[in-house]
Amino acid sequence: MRIVVLTGAGVSAESGVPTFRDADGLWEGHRVEDVATPEGYDADPGLVHAFYDARRAALADVAPNPAHLALGRLEAVLGHDLTIVTQNVDDLHERGGAHHVLHMHGELLSAWCRACGHRFRWEGTLADRPACPGCGVSELRPDIVWFGEMPYEMDRISAAIAEADLFVSIGTSGAVYPAAGFVIEARARGIRSLEINLEPSEGTHWFDEARHGKAGDLVPRWVDEVLGRL
Ligand code: OAD
Ligand code: ZN
């Protein structure tokens, strides 16, 4: 049984990480163009660094919830037959026990040097413009995929979908491509699909089955079903 799971902000909501498009969403008070585009960064790097430094620091105050832990349990049994693809830039899947996670939108705990191109695990701040551990130049930026930039791992994600028996989307509004199109790719290949989300996503009609409710309730239940059928 090969499974591809795509997660979005909704999987981390019960851990206290704000989602993007809900009422109290993260963008409130900030225009997307200011904090999530290369142009915004060039215009005001200090603002952008402060924004991501605050989000990175906030990771210390959150913990994985039952949905992350259930996916960790599933990976422990399925191993490489499970591919977790996340749009989230937090590290809650890893802390929930999953080790092979494709972060298609980058990671808060990573910094990318604009001078030498290398990436480094990064737990501190960037607003103080620290020197790159590789080349010494102070050109580190958050390793986050901004609007207008190419998401990471697209080849591995497409290959995993092509070989999957089941595609599951958890906690994502289906508003941002290419992730929102993975279900269409799965469908075109005749692969079954399941949506787990608080409410119907924008692409809910593409899924063979949809379950609506909290990820913290529904994901452990679904994982138990899968493990029970093995
Ligand atoms: P959104 O904020 O667009 O959507 C979150 C979805 O999770 C919504 O459909 C909610 O209904 C649902 N949700 C909220 N709480 C939930 C819960 N407890 N259980 C289950 N579902 C819940 O977030 P994403 O779809 O992840 O990109 O957004 C996609 C991308 O847009 C992000 O990765 C980010 C943003 O621009 C980048 O930063 C590049
Ligand atoms: Zn460098």
Regarding the beta carbon of 47 and ligand 1, being less than 6 Å apart is answered: no
- The residue among 146 and 33 whose pLDDT is bigger is 146
| Residue 10 clears pLDDT 60, i.e. is over it | yes
Ligand nearest to the CA of 200: 1
Structural domain count, the chain? 2
Distance 89 CA to ligand 1 centre (A): 12
- Residue 183 to residue 19: CA distance in whole angstroms: 21
Position 28 scores a pLDDT of 55
Same domain, yes or no, for 116 and 169? Answer: no
Ligand nearest to the CA of 117: 2
CATH of the domain at 182: 3.40.50.1220
* Nearest ligand 1 atom to alpha carbon 106: 39
Same domain, yes or no, for 182 and 81? Answer: yes
Residue after which a domain boundary falls, among 144, 163, 194: 144
Same domain, yes or no, for 225 and 176? Answer: yes
CB 125 within 8 A of CB 49: yes
> 188 lies in which domain range?
3-17+64-105+151-229
- Residue 92 to residue 48: CA distance in whole angstroms: 23
Binding residues for substrate, by number, are: 52, 55
- Kindly provide the residue ranges of all beta strands, DSSP E only, lying in 50-181, ordered along the sequence: 82-86, 101-103, 106-113, 119-121, 140-144, 166-170
Q: Count other C-beta atoms under 10 Å from residue 209's C-beta.
A: 10
Same domain, yes or no, for 137 and 160? Answer: no
Give, for ligand 1, the residue of 30, 110, 176, 183 to mutate: max count of ligand atoms closer than 8 Å to Cβ. Answer: 176
Position 24 scores a pLDDT of 57
* pLDDT tens figures, 181-217: 999 999 999 999 999 999 999 999 999 999 999 999 9
pTM for the complete prediction? 0.97
Angle at 205 between CA 203 and CA 210, to 5 degrees: 95
Same domain, yes or no, for 206 and 156? Answer: yes
Outline where 79-209 has alpha helix (H): 92-95, 154-162, 182-188
